[in-house]
């Protein structure tokens, strides 16, 4: 439904109350995922993995389907311990932050 641009039409007066814009875009408006994306940006993950998770330093850095490739445990371990060119993050991020990133990346299938 393309109601988004209908704001200032006004010629024929009020059609019935349109949907509130609040309830759109389900998955990426999940607050936990939004927070995870902030962490992903703030901790420079994007410099190697890219804004769209497309991967900037080789195929293994593409995370677009990492949730089907790795278990959440493996994802968490990679974030904690790094390796293969990736820095260690367990000293920089809390368990909770690693958990947020892991849940979000696990949803990438
Ligand atoms: C300096 C570059 C760099 C940064 C910064 C970086 N990574 Fe990585 N990451 C890599 C590389 C390179 C690999 C592939 C490692 C390998 O070959 O095993 C990788 C692998 C991964 C994997 C596993 C992917 C797979 O398919 O095996 C995950 C998950 C991941 N990174 C998440 C993150 C997160 C989350 C952050 C930020 C907290 C981050 N990375 C920051 C370079 C980086």
pLDDT tens sequence for the chain (109 residues): 555 555 554 455 555 655 544 444 455 679 999 999 999 999 999 999 999 999 999 999 999 999 999 999 999 999 999 999 999 999 999 999 999 999 999 999 9
Q: Where are the domains of the chain?
A: 28-106
Angle in degrees, CA 62, 27, 45, rounded to 5 = 35
Query: 86 C-alpha vs ligand 1 centroid, how far in Å?
Result: 5
Tokens of 20: 């509130």
Looking at ligand 1, which residue's alpha carbon is closest to its atom 10?
Answer: 86
Tokens of 65: 């389907």
Cβ of 76 closer than 6 Å to ligand 1, yes or no, is no
- d(CA 29, CA 11) in angstroms, rounded, equals 33
Q: 34: number of CA atoms within 13 Å, CB side?
A: 7
Q: How many Å is the Cα radius of gyration of the chain?
A: 19
pTM flag (> 0.75): yes
Cβ of 105 closer than 6 Å to ligand 1, yes or no, is yes
In sequence order, what are the residues at sequence separation of 6 or more whose Cβ sits closer than 8 angstroms to the Cβ of residue 58? Answer: none
Query: 98 C-alpha vs ligand 1 centroid, how far in Å?
Result: 13
Query: 31 C-alpha vs ligand 1 centroid, how far in Å?
Result: 23
Give the architecture-level CATH label for domain 28-106. Answer: Orthogonal Bundle (1.10)
Asked whether residue 1 is marked as a ligand-binding residue, the answer is no
Q: Mind giving me the DSSP string for 42-103?
A: HTTHHHHH-TTS--SSSGGG--TTHHHHS-HHHHHHHHHH-BTTBPP-TTTS-HHHHHHHHH
Asked whether residue 8 is marked as a ligand-binding residue, the answer is no
């Amino acid at each position: 439904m393309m109601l988004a641009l209908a704001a200032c039409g006004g010629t024929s007066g009020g059609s019935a109350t349109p949907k509130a814009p609040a309830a759109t875009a389900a998955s990426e408006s999940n607050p936990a995922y939004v927070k995870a994306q902030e962490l992903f940006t703030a901790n420079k993950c994007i410099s190697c993995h890219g804004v769209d998770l497309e991967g900037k330093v080789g195929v293994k850095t593409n995370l677009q389907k990492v949730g089907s490739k790795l278990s959440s445990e493996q994802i968490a371990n990679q974030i904690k311990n790094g390796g293969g060119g990736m820095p260690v993050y367990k000293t920089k991020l809390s368990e909770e932050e690693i958990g947020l990133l892991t849940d979000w990346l696990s949803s990438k299938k």
